Structures are given as C-alpha cells and as structure tokens.
C-alpha cells in the first residue's frame, strides 16, 4: 500500500534523476573548449570487455584546445584510439606511441547552431520525462482518493506538491539549457 509521502518522494527522486541525466548529457556535448568530459565515458573494448575510458587512462587538458589521454596500460593505445574514432565526436585523435592527443577544432557558426538544436532536443526529452513522472504520480494520488484512502484535501495538497516539483525541475532544466547555449555560442 503506497502512501502519499511515498508517491511524492518517488516523483521527486525521478525528476531529480532526469535533471541529473541531462547534466551528464550536456557534459558530453562538445563546445569550443577542451573538456575531459567529452571523452571520459567513451566505451573502449579492453581485452574483450567494454570499459569507460576514464578507468583506463588519465585524461587532462593542458591547453584550452587540447585533450591528452595517458593510458595506464600502453598496450591499450590502439583500442582507445579506435574507440574515440568510433564514438563519432567530431575529433581526430593523434597517437604518438605513449599518449593520445586530441586537438579540439574551432566550431563553425553552423555547427554551433546544430549543437544548440541538439541541446534543446535533449532538454525537451527530459522535460517530457518529468511531465510523465508528474502524470504517473497524479494518477496514483487520484487512485488513492478514489479508494477513499485519502481525503480530497489531501489529494489536492499532494497534486499541488507534485506540480511544485515539476515546476522546479523544469526550471532547472531551462537554466541548464540557457547556460549550455551560451557556452556553445561563445567564440
């Protein structure tokens, strides 16, 4: 038997996860600056097991337009290079036998606008996910009221609370999108 508090907690948790997911998605979205987050989650086939790059190598940005990947195991260099190319990040790794250097090219205006569109689509997907969580939570609350488990006043209070969570989460997404847009459009 679910209580109103359980439903509210679950809705808040799911909405928070949607915001966090978007934050991670935005981290992997390329801007004009070098950032380890661009490559750290690339899956490398390391001895037959898919492994995240950050677990196989040190990733640093010694210059604003350069990412340097220093693998802990030098024999994994070809696999890392292959995985970066396969990830289709729009960058070309350069392997010197010890480290991989990834120069980050300047973004064209057209590419910047495309990235903004991608960011907007990512944000909208998470807004939809949040609205779905709201709808699901509202349905649970209304079902509880129909079964006479809670009063109409409790239902109305819970629905207001769910709407507040929804508004807060969507506001966070809008702020993150605005920040990412500025970041991408910055020359």
Q: What angle do CA 113, 116, 121 make, to 5 degrees?
A: 130
Q: Using CB atoms within 10 Å of the CB of residue 186, give its burial: 0 to 12 exposed, 13 to 18 middle, 19+ buried.
A: exposed
Q: Please report the pLDDT score of residue 134 as a whole number.
A: 95
Q: Please report the pLDDT score of residue 11 as a whole number.
A: 93
Cα dihedral 117, 122, 128, 129 in deg (nearest 10): 180
Contact 69, 80 (CB under 8 A): yes
Per-residue pLDDT of the chain (187 residues; tens, 9 = 90+): 578 889 999 999 999 999 999 988 887 776 667 778 888 888 888 888 888 888 989 999 888 888 999 999 888 898 988 888 887 777 888 988 889 998 887 778 887 888 888 889 999 999 999 999 999 999 999 999 898 888 889 999 999 999 999 999 999 999 999 998 988 887 6
Helix axes 152-185 and 109-146, enclosed angle (nearest 10) = 170
Long-range contacts, stretch 37-43, CB < 8 angstroms, 24+ apart = 38/67, 38/89, 38/91, 38/104, 39/67, 39/69, 39/84, 39/87, 39/89, 39/102, 42/83, 42/84, 42/87, 42/89, 43/83, 43/87
90: its two tokens: 């729009």
* CATH homologous superfamily of 4-27+108-185: Ribosome-recycling factor (1.10.132.20)
26: its two tokens: 């935005």
Q: Domain 36-103 carries which CATH code?
A: 3.30.1360.40
Rounded Cα distance, 137 and 123, in Å: 21
Question: Domain residue spans in the chain?
Answer: 4-27+108-185, 36-103
Contact 38, 30 (CB under 8 A): yes
Q: Which residue has the tokens 């605005």?
A: 178
Q: Using CB atoms within 10 Å of the CB of residue 123, give its burial: 0 to 12 exposed, 13 to 18 middle, 19+ buried.
A: buried
């Amino acid at each position: 038997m679910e209580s109103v508090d359980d439903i509210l907690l679950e809705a808040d948790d799911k909405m928070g996860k949607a915001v966090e997911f978007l934050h991670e998605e935005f981290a992997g979205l390329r801007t004009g600056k070098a950032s380890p987050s661009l490559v750290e989650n690339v899956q490398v086939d390391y001895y037959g097991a898919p492994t995240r790059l950050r677990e196989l190598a040190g990733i640093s940005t010694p210059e604003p337009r350069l990412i340097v990947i220093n693998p802990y195991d030098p024999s994994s260099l070809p696999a890392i290079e292959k995985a970066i190319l396969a990830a289709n990040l729009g960058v070309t790794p350069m392997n010197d036998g010890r480290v991989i250097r990834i120069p980050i090219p300047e973004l064209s205006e057209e590419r910047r606008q495309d990235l903004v569109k991608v960011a907007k689509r990512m944000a909208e997907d998470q807004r939809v996910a949040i609205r779905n969580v709201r709808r699901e939570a509202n349905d649970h609350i209304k079902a509880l009221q129909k079964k006479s488990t809670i009063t109409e006043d409790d239902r109305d209070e819970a629905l207001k609370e769910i709407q507040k969570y929804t508004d807060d989460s969507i506001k966070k997404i809008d702020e993150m999108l605005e920040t990412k847009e500025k970041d991408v459009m910055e020359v």
